[in-house]
Amino acid sequence: MDIARLFDVKGKTALVTGGSGGIGYMIATALVQAGCRVVICSRKQTDIEAAADRLRAFGAVTAIAADIATEAGVAKVAAAVNGAGPLHILVNNAGTSWGAPIDRFPRAGFEKVLQLNLLAPFEMTKAMLPALRAAGTAEDPARIINIASIDGMQVPQWESYPYSATKAGIIHMGRHMGKFLADDHISVNTIAPGFFPSKMTASVVDLDNEADMAAAASPLGGRIGMAEDIGGAVIYLSSRAGAWLSGVTIPVGGGRGTIDN
């Protein structure tokens, strides 16, 4: 057993959707600092370029501005990635939320969340299969890592119906994909994060408010998530240490949604 290389991902190529901020940016940071060539995509050109500029201090980073909730956006990313060689790691992270009382919940809001949180990861995975198949081997499969949420494993505090439904859906969809992609040497696993700081979570939790922070804090450590928490989970699943896992969901929330539910 080569312990020194157990968590080594140097030289791999990774694509992180929604990589301009929040959890996606944390994941991209971990991967590029670990020696991966990283491609990040996000909807807004200025945001994704700014993120890439910061990340290039650590290594090779490519930025693609694309709305992957659309067919054109998926096709744009696929054209750039599939033409650049094997893809060892696909992180389906891009997501959104919408909250409203059930009797006033707009159909358009539900459809928006469904499209980005569930349909987009499916379409992105489908589009990246040529590059993933080119990367995977029996000893070192290509990795698909879907980012769900502990709200896909528990009933949330808020009336965010499509968010919890799509996050539960991506957990099971990952297991389903894993079954049918195993012969292609592609593993599919899911991370279900607890509370991490991001633009999306800022809409429901004020980090400067003591009561909000107390409500968001995890049972383990009494804190919210940090870059090392999500980055470590992704590195584990992407390295030799996680090479024999598929169909697994790892809650990364300090016990939130697991030991407190």
Q: What residues act catalytically?
A: 163
Helices (H) and strands (E) in the chain, counts: 9, 7
Tokens found for residue 135: 């990367």
The strands making up 61-65's β-sheet, listed across from edge to edge, are 61-65, 37-42, 13-17, 89-92, 142-147, 186-193, 249-252
CB-based contacts of 66, cutoff 8 Å, min separation 6? 41, 42, 43, 72, 73, 74, 76, 77
How far is 62 from 184, CA to CA, in rounded Å? Answer: 26
